[in-house]
Amino acid sequence: MLNTLIQAFALISTWEVIIAMLAASVYGLVIGSLPGLSATMATALLVPVTFYLSPIAAIATIVAASTMAIFSGDIPGALLRIPGTPASAAYADEAYAMTRKGEAELALGAGVWFSAVGGIAGTLSLMILAPPLAEIALSFSTFEYFWLAFLGLMCATLVARSSPVKAIASMFIGLLVACVGIENPGGVPRFTFGMTNLFGGIEPIPALVGVFAVAQVMRAMLTPEPPPIPKRKFGSIMAGQWRLTKKYRWQMTRGNIIGIIIGVLPGAGADMAAWVSYAMSKRFSKEPEKFGTGHVEGLVEAGASNNASIASGWVPSLLFGIPGDTIAAIAIGVLYMKGLNPGPTLFTEKASSMYAIYLMFIIANIIMIPLGIVMIRLASYVLRAPRSSVMPFIMLCCAVGSFAIGNNMFGVVTVAAFGIIGYVMEANGYPVAAMVLGIVMGTMIEQSFVTSLIKSDGSVLPFFERPISAILAAMAIGALIWPVLIWGWRRLKAASPAAAPR
């Protein structure tokens, strides 16, 4: 244990890792703070860069950029009432109300401080939860993997803030995209329409860049420019944070725990964690009437929650290759690329790399405090950058980055196509996150499904015979049926005899 820890320290104390981490932190802070550029997009655009780094440095950039971006989304939320990332949307109104009351320092300070605390709590959960789960996971067969992946996809649809039917449809679209190519049980070209470029299948990363980056530029074309930020001088940012920590320690702990749980659930990420925790905080608060008028309590809980979910989202990613959220989905792609294939054996064979990941998470959350304070002070300058000068850079990064993934122009076509798909889906209430998870997990779920069917000689019964597999199956089917039950119940409650369920 101590030996591995020393090895891990040696792994991360190279110049490459340190520089990569610092650069990615600054990048994450800037992208996260710009309205409309989300943390997922920041991470997706980073992937082409990670090709050229060593495995640990590559993971360091992903860890640092995503951690920073989730926090810095709070900055425009508090100053402009425009959340920089969806994860800050839950409490942007509250933070802006505080700014109007003249408490911008307290709101932003709470953002950086409780984000750091939450991030470290999430990392601890990753360290504590992952190894014992890996022990259990070693005895999993394809049946369990199939149900686990299926459960993950169902969770992704349950938590979407949209119609569950549309979320499930999005998931199927993603799985359908994953069907393309010759990497299937028969090794025959499937849905390639004779195009050689499609033989290798549709890469998840260009699809992600298209859905999250190009679609965002497309939306920017139609929405008015956000108002410029007023210049202001900040007082001490960390003042009063310790007092808040003592006063709201239960809220903070609750936020951390909720964030960890939501992070571990496949498909649900930081935005969900923030919404749930903010609602929870209001529900259990002693002074709920103060919410919405610039009250710091909800900020504490939700800020502690969304950053906690980032680290714990890596638990299912590292163990099963099932992403905890869209950022983890990108991280999985990078892990595979770097030969750190997710799976329970990762924790025994590559233990030092795992410890290095834990350490990087902790370091990222600690350096977030000073870097975050600098960022808050510079925010009035960064946020003055007009959209018309930022978006062209995003466009170029999309084009060059997607080309770099395979040194192939087809990647750029994929990005453009998925930009349109993502834009249309989002405009019509189909959650794109569910589709992304479908794309990322498609190959895995098909493999475990078909291998299981071959093992069972085409019978469905063995899917339910092993004890763990039966439990997972019950959970997954429950998740599938739940929206139907709610819908039927609402129909009944509407209590018109003509509207009885057919």
Partner 1 sequence: MRLPDQVTGLFLVGLGAAAAYGGWLLPPVPGQPVGPNIFPLVIGSGLALCGLAIALGIGRTFEEEEEIIPLEAGQAGPPTGKLYGLRALLPPALLLFYVAVADRLGFIITAALIVFVTSSALGARWKLSLPLAVMAPIVIHLIFSKLLRVPLPAGLLPMPW
Binding residues among 410-439 for partner 1 as defined by CB under 8 A: 412-413, 415-417, 419-420, 423-424, 427-430
Q: Which of these ranges, 253-261, 340-348, 357-365, 445-453, lies near partner 1 under the rule CB under 8 A?
A: 445-453
Q: Which of 1, 3, 286, 457 binds partner 1 (CB under 8 A)?
A: 457
Binding of partner 1 by 449 (CB under 8 A): yes
Q: Which of 234, 403, 464, 475 binds partner 1 (CB under 8 A)?
A: 403
Q: How far apart are CA 197 and CA 180, in angstroms?
A: 11
Shortest spacing between CB 495 and partner 1, in angstroms? 15
Q: How far apart are CA 21 and CA 39, in angstroms?
A: 16
Nearer to partner 1, 218 or 337 (CB): 218
Q: Which of 6, 366, 454, 471 binds partner 1 (CB under 8 A)?
A: 454
Q: Which of 34, 46, 49, 69 binds partner 1 (CB under 8 A)?
A: 49
β-pair partners for 181: 190
Q: Are 95 and 299 in contact (CB under 8 A)?
A: yes
Shortest spacing between CB 30 and partner 1, in angstroms? 14
Q: How far apart are CA 59 and CA 102, in angstroms?
A: 39
How many chain residues are in contact with partner 1, going by CB under 8 A?
77
Q: What is the Cβ-side half-sphere exposure of residue 116, based on CA atoms within 13 angstroms? A: 19
Nearer to partner 1, 50 or 352 (CB): 50
Nearer to partner 1, 90 or 376 (CB): 90
Q: Which of 33, 184, 317, 326 binds partner 1 (CB under 8 A)?
A: 184
Binding of partner 1 by 382 (CB under 8 A): no
Residue 450 CB burial class (10 angstroms; 0-12, 13-18, ≥19): middle
Nearer to partner 1, 172 or 464 (CB): 172
Nearer to partner 1, 49 or 112 (CB): 49
Q: One-letter amino acid identity for 442? A: G
Terminal Cα-to-Cα distance of the chain (whole angstroms): 61
Q: Which of 5, 22, 176, 238 binds partner 1 (CB under 8 A)?
A: 176
Shortest spacing between CB 292 and partner 1, in angstroms? 14
Q: Which of 399, 470, 475, 477 binds partner 1 (CB under 8 A)?
A: 399
For partner 1, the binding residues in 361-380 under the rule CB under 8 A are none
Binding of partner 1 by 393 (CB under 8 A): yes
Q: Which of 129, 404, 475, 477 binds partner 1 (CB under 8 A)?
A: 404
Q: Which of 4, 54, 191, 253 binds partner 1 (CB under 8 A)?
A: 191
Shortest spacing between CB 462 and partner 1, in angstroms? 13
Q: Which of 374, 386, 478, 492 binds partner 1 (CB under 8 A)?
A: 386
For partner 1, the binding residues in 24-43 under the rule CB under 8 A are none
Mention every residue, 6+ apart, whose C-beta is less than 8 A from residue 486. none
For partner 1, the binding residues in 212-241 under the rule CB under 8 A are 214, 217-225, 227
For partner 1, the binding residues in 123-162 under the rule CB under 8 A are 161-162
DSSP 436-472: HHHHHHHHHHHHHHHHHHHHTTT-SGGGGTSHHHHHH
Would you call 124 helix, strand, or coil by DSSP? helix
CB count in 10 Å sphere of residue 464? 16
Q: How far apart are CA 224 and CA 153, in angstroms?
A: 35
Q: Which of 196, 490, 497, 498 binds partner 1 (CB under 8 A)?
A: 490
Place of tokens 């779920």: 445
Place of tokens 């571990």: 264
> Which ranges in 285-386 belong to alpha helices (H)?
296-312, 314-320, 326-337, 346-349, 351-382
Q: One-letter amino acid identity for 461? A: L
For partner 1, the binding residues in 67-96 under the rule CB under 8 A are 81
Segment (H or E) for 409: none
Q: How far apart are CA 107 and CA 75, in angstroms?
A: 9
What size, in residues, is the chain?
502
Binding of partner 1 by 179 (CB under 8 A): yes
